[in-house]
A and B are shown apart, each in its own frame.
Chain A
Amino acid sequence: MKTVRGMAVAILCMFGLCGLAQADTLTLNPPGGAISGAAGTTVGWGFTLTNVTNFAVVTSSDFCVGVITSPCSNSLGTYKDFAGPQFIVVGPSSSVTQAFNNSLLTGMGSFLINPGATGSVLGDVVLTYDLYSVSPNDPSFLPTDIVSLGNLLTAPASVTAVPEPGSLLLLASGLAGCLLAKKRLPG
């Protein structure tokens, strides 16, 4: 049975249709992938991964600004992969959703904003996954049940460093001082 399935997949791929058969999608939580936090704090993304055919096994994730490199880096902080180390398997016509939880290490990954960082970075969350014709959780699974390896999904994402509360307080005090001084000016 597995052999027949594998052959069918192989024939589809031979005609370049395996890519068409897949319309796997990745969406981030929050929608649009825009997250923010104070400098020195950790933020992160949840996600929903939808798979159309076969069995998708997540193998890594990263946050990339510009071209996708190994590993990616950016000027605002450090990304940590949560999805890869988990064993996330998404069957055909199904999806998996995880919220970001920095304690449970769930979600797509965390982002530690550098202390003192300001501004924002715009990029993509990049997910790699392998496709198998049989679920790796199936006792009959064999490592040769490969459909394709090293597949990529991307979703737009951004991180913004917001001023820390102490900085906001300082700013407010400064503004109040300015207003007071203006009131006391003659005329």
Chain B
Amino acid sequence: MKPGESFVLGVHTNVRQGSGGRIHLPAPVQLLPFLQGAPSLHLLARAAVHVGLYRPDPGRIVNAAPFLNIGQRIREHSFFYIREDQKVGTGEVWLHVKDGAKLFDTSLTLDNTIIANNGASECFVRGSVTSAGAGNLIVNNGSGVPFSACPDVVTSNDPQLGALQLNAPGNTPTMAIPQTSPAFNTADAATSLSTDQRGVSRPQGTRFDIGAYEVCVSRVVLQCFPGIIAPPPQFEPLTTQASPAAGGTVSPPSGIFPFNSVVVLNATANNGYSFVNWTPNVAVPSNPSTTVTMDQPQTVTASFAPLPTSIFGNIVAKSGPANNRDWTLSLLNNGPGGAFTAMIPSFTLMQTFGAACTPVVTNAASFPLLVGDLAPLQTGTANVMLDFTGCAATARFTATFTYSASNGAVSGSVVRFNQFQ
């Protein structure tokens, strides 16, 4: 800790995302100046961040929060300043609490605040700090020396923040959360404020939400925003997925979409697969390009099926000394389907000529030999290691190996006579 520095609250700001909200210093200060001064600032507390600088006589708050501003030294109250290393992109915003050469104990109270999407240790305290709070969502809390974690985290799950934008009826940007967010209904009631950043009453429903945005749970928007004529945006979560995952890709990716919006879905089959259908609730299930109406949370699945295929197996190379002979077995996928997780489960040699001997498969423990995924017209190989010690050069064998792929949907055997070691 630097001389005279009694407290540092650090918030990384690597990504332009945040929860939206307002920071309350002992005398409440609206968030708006923060947003205007540092749009990349991520400590956007819905409820309250109380930063108190206490003189030795307990409880006496001496800071001058109303003058606090980003990147500006508060000369009138020289014990405060905020240093902003970089406004946008990578960097950090630190709030230093100093009093010249004097050392004071400080306290941090962090209530019902979302800190997310800023990378590792996105919230930390350092120095002689008494931390307290309730109901916080911090995805990557501070850790390690000399930093300590911010207090009272109730969940570290992804808050599913929407884009930073004006959400009615607010006149400052906020990030909406869906009802599936871990911030929904999980704030501490005792410390929650009576309205969110937009002015919407809290709670909507029975419990308070963490962050700057209180989710309206009623379909009748006027119940959420009395006096507001224009309907506010509502969001519903959409989950899009492909089954099997290797079968193809879907768009758009999962996310939240305005209530009652019509989202265009596209399914694209990977090589070796064909599109089957969408399920459920889409306009045309059999069409890879269709739509879904976001009148409720939706989970839509595009199903894909592997195209039929066949395989030709062969023995294509042999090398190495007799006691460590390396035979290369090949599998050619004829297509048009893919051959997935192609493998060679067994390999046998039967002697047909020469003095009797017993070749040993030395990599038997590696069976089934994995060839891998084979695209149409792709050839893959696997190697079987053999010890022909004691076998004459002219000894002949019949080699047989089996293959399978795509969970046994494709299988067969390969027989090659007159094989020399």
Contact = CB atoms under 8 A, between A and B. Distances in A.
Contacts of B181: none
Contacts of A70: 311-314, 403, 412-414
Given A141-B393, A143-B393, A150-B314, A128 B412 contact: no
By CB atoms of chain B within 10 A, which of A59, A128, A146 has the most? A59
Contacts of A58: 417-418
Given A60-B415, A136-B420, A143-B420, A69 B334 contact: yes
A67 B310 contact: yes
Interface string B389-421: 000011010100001000000001111111111
Nearest to A67: B334
B342 to A, nearest CB: 12
Contacts of B403: 70
Nearest to A64: B312
A172 interface: no
A71 interface: yes
A141 B394 CA distance: 7
B98 to A, nearest CB: 76
Given A68-B312, A128-B314, A150-B314, A84 B418 contact: yes
Contact of A85 (B310, B318, B412, B417): B417
Interface in B308-324: 310-318, 322
Contacts, number: 70
A149 interface: yes
Interface string B264-278: 000000000000000
A142 B322 CA distance: 11
Contact of A149 (B312, B315, B334, B393): B315
Contact of A59 (B310, B334, B394, B419): B419
B241 interface: no
Contacts of A141: 393-394
B141 interface: no
A59 to B, nearest CB: 5
B367 interface: no
Contacts of B334: 67-69
A57 interface: yes
A71 B411 CA distance: 10
Interface of A: 57-60, 67-71, 81, 84-85, 87, 128, 130, 136, 141-143, 146, 149-150
Given A59-B418, A71-B412, 14 more contacts: A57-B418, A67-B312, A68-B312, A68-B334, A69-B310, A70-B311, A84-B417, A87-B353, A87-B396, A136-B418, A141-B393, A143-B420, A149-B316, A149-B317
20 contacts: A59-B416, A67-B312, A67-B334, A70-B412, A70-B413, A70-B414, A71-B412, A84-B416, A84-B418, A85-B352, A136-B418, A143-B322, A143-B421, A149-B314, A149-B315, A149-B316, A149-B317, A149-B318, A150-B314, A150-B416
